[in-house]
Structure 1
């Protein structure tokens, strides 16, 4: 017994000798003696993991859309990704639906050639919105003999509240398809107008305002259907905030429509004009060059930053002169499949001191005299000049030399 006490005292003395000033002593522990119940417990042990906050989910799902630099439209892969996210749980579904139905009309254009995804076609989308009409709107339409889908009393989401981007041409074509047997039959225009008006009123009340709007005419539609919405002051709050405007200009009554566009949309940041009407005798006619109606859409803007022209010819002198009115704000210009035959030197472009990028894709008939003012301007903020020709197109040496000054792009 005495020897046992001496042994214990020796161990204590040897252990105490290891303590030094400023040095912590950690005794050895036999791991085999540790039990699982001795491990520190977590409050999430045996419970489901904590859920992500809705705001974080929204930001993650925004990354799935992968929009391009100059377009707010979603990529092709974004829609199936978001549809899959809707199937996880209720919170994920709420965040995914909010983004999907921000631009629902994009589905028709993405899935036109994919028969497996026709369940999300444009007509079903219109019918979904028609189920959300209030009692008074439904009564007015039913009194006119218009058949409406039955309202859903247990609807999970208010889809109309998420709308921020509207393709007016696709919506008009969808309504026309629903209430007509064929595009070539004479459908009562009043029926289409009443339904379109009801949908726009629904969007005005629930969505509030739009940020993206596209006008593209149908081969069987009339300009009267486009003017119906724009001339009504009831929808001003819905349209005035639009910042991204796309106009496909092969419209019959261009003069009236473009004047309405200029009066209604003044806060556009990104403007795209496609297929401007061609004049038969535009060469050498100054009245056509400088007094066109659609240039008022450019000149009426307060802070236009980006302009894209597609398949334009004959009016480029007038357009470039109109761009000069936006010289204090314009930063990005893009010309796609444009014909510059007979165009005057680009003095209007040379005066845009805030230009950051200019792109010429598939353009023809560009001469050195046109490019000369742009070369001599010495634009200090210009960082990107892209020139792409097709194989059968003749290139402009002066324009290629300008693009060679920016080899890093």
Structure 2
């Protein structure tokens, strides 16, 4: 139990069971009903109302609000988030930031209030891009003109926040890293510098436990980023690659990028779930890398992938402990590609879901028949 949760339970003055029930209820309040609702979720507004009811509700609600502080739905409170974390830093940590020229206009007022919770220890889910945008916006609003665009100062603040989380004993369960589809070379260099922070030794205790990793965007020119991710996140259980692109005109560079991306998959020690959605022409390489997770992989989901000219799915067929396979609106799934699956022995496979656009769209009948047979056998057991 973290310090923040311990303080919360003491404030509540009730049995843990009641407190745990409140936490669970509030978790459902802020979770979007549908995935499309996650960017316009009124649940956070409702939760702000809940924490005003009494101390017990406040304690349980605060844990939910601060476990994912850089969520898009917190956009109206971004400045307060940074100011609250600054008020939790000691003088030595603040001095490091001051040496970069940063000033803290709201810090004296915040420190007089004495934070009621150990807010840094409560973070569990990190949306890294949103954290960077929050820091940049905070600098734009609070700093002098010279520091508003100062990359070293912003990097120092990001590093200080991550170190604060780690020092408080926080353990991340989920990291989401979304990059723009296209950026100029300067932005590539800047994002690369921010990403390397995640691999620094003093932050490893925070990032190492991460079990859920979501990546999206254009990762071209991010050769070293993959190395960083492979070294930092090795205990991922659920890996989601959605709209991952490697736009580059240099073939050798692209091959190296794909190789390094595959190393992120093979570096995992116990991958259970893998999702691949709307990628370029390199998804077959990602699938081949799944062979390294044959002993642990249980679920795979493919969404909007074009398997034209794809080699046989040997890597996927090696994962004989699979329990569920989903192919949602994928194209050109040929008999040659799925032949290894049809001949493999999946003793734990209970569901194969194949969803198309209303017609087969090149999904071979052999694969569809195999899926129907698997599902029928599972129902009869």
Which category describes the TM-score, using the shorter chain as reference length? 0.7 to 0.9
1:163 to 116, 123, 135: 123
SS in 2 for 1:275: strand
SS in 2 for 1:242: coil
Q: Cα gap change, 1:321/1:261 in structure 2, threshold over 3 Å: closer, same or farther?
A: same
Aligned to 1:402: 370
**Aligned pairs for 1:347-366 within 5 A:** 347-366=314-333
Q: Distance in 2 between matches of 1:186 and 1:146?
A: 10
Aligned to 1:383: 350
Q: Cα gap change, 1:64/1:359 in structure 2, threshold over 3 Å: closer, same or farther?
A: farther
RMSD: 3.3
Counterpart contact for 1:338–1:363, Cα < 8 Å = yes
1:153 to 94, 109, 112: 112
| Residues 112-170 of structure 1, C-alpha deviations (whole Å, 9 max, x = no match) | xxxxxx534x3432333223222122222234321223133222222211111111111
Unaligned stretches of 5+ residues in structure 2: 1-11, 142-146
Q: Distance in 2 between matches of 1:295 and 1:350?
A: 17
Q: Which moved more, 1:256-265 or 1:129-138?
A: 129-138
Q: Cα gap change, 1:235/1:55 in structure 2, threshold over 3 Å: closer, same or farther?
A: same
Aligned to 1:191: 153
Aligned to 1:251: 219
2:176 to 214, 218, 239: 214
Counterpart contact for 1:126–1:171, Cα < 8 Å = no
Q: Distance in 2 between matches of 1:51 and 1:230?
A: 37
Q: Distance in 2 between matches of 1:60 and 1:330?
A: 34
Q: Cα gap change, 1:186/1:389 in structure 2, threshold over 3 Å: closer, same or farther?
A: farther
User: Aligned residues, how many?
Assistant: 344
Q: Distance in 2 between matches of 1:172 and 1:393?
A: 43
Aligned to 2:338: 371
Q: Are 1:119 and 2:76 an aligned pair?
A: yes
**Aligned pairs for 1:56-75 within 5 A:** 56-66=18-28
Q: Cα gap change, 1:172/1:289 in structure 2, threshold over 3 Å: closer, same or farther?
A: closer
Which TM-score applies when normalising by structure 2?
Answer: 0.80
Shift of 1:188: 1.9
Counterpart contact for 2:219–2:246, Cα < 8 Å = no
Shift of 1:273: 1.5
- Name the structure where helix makes up a greater proportion of residues: 2
Q: Are 1:223 and 2:191 an aligned pair?
A: yes
Q: Cα gap change, 1:217/1:270 in structure 2, threshold over 3 Å: closer, same or farther?
A: same
Which TM-score applies when normalising by structure 1?
Answer: 0.74
Q: Cα gap change, 1:290/1:237 in structure 2, threshold over 3 Å: closer, same or farther?
A: closer
1:128 to 84, 87, 100: 84
Shift of 1:367: 1.5
Aligned to 1:263: 231
Q: Cα gap change, 1:161/1:348 in structure 2, threshold over 3 Å: closer, same or farther?
A: same
Q: Cα gap change, 1:289/1:62 in structure 2, threshold over 3 Å: closer, same or farther?
A: same
Higher relative contact order (CA 8 A, sep 6+): 2
Q: Distance in 1 between matches of 2:42 and 2:153?
A: 36
Counterpart contact for 1:347–1:373, Cα < 8 Å = yes
Aligned to 1:15: none
Shift of 1:74: 8.5
1:240 to 184, 198, 208: 208
Q: Distance in 1 between matches of 2:256 and 2:323?
A: 27
Q: Distance in 1 between matches of 2:247 and 2:52?
A: 53
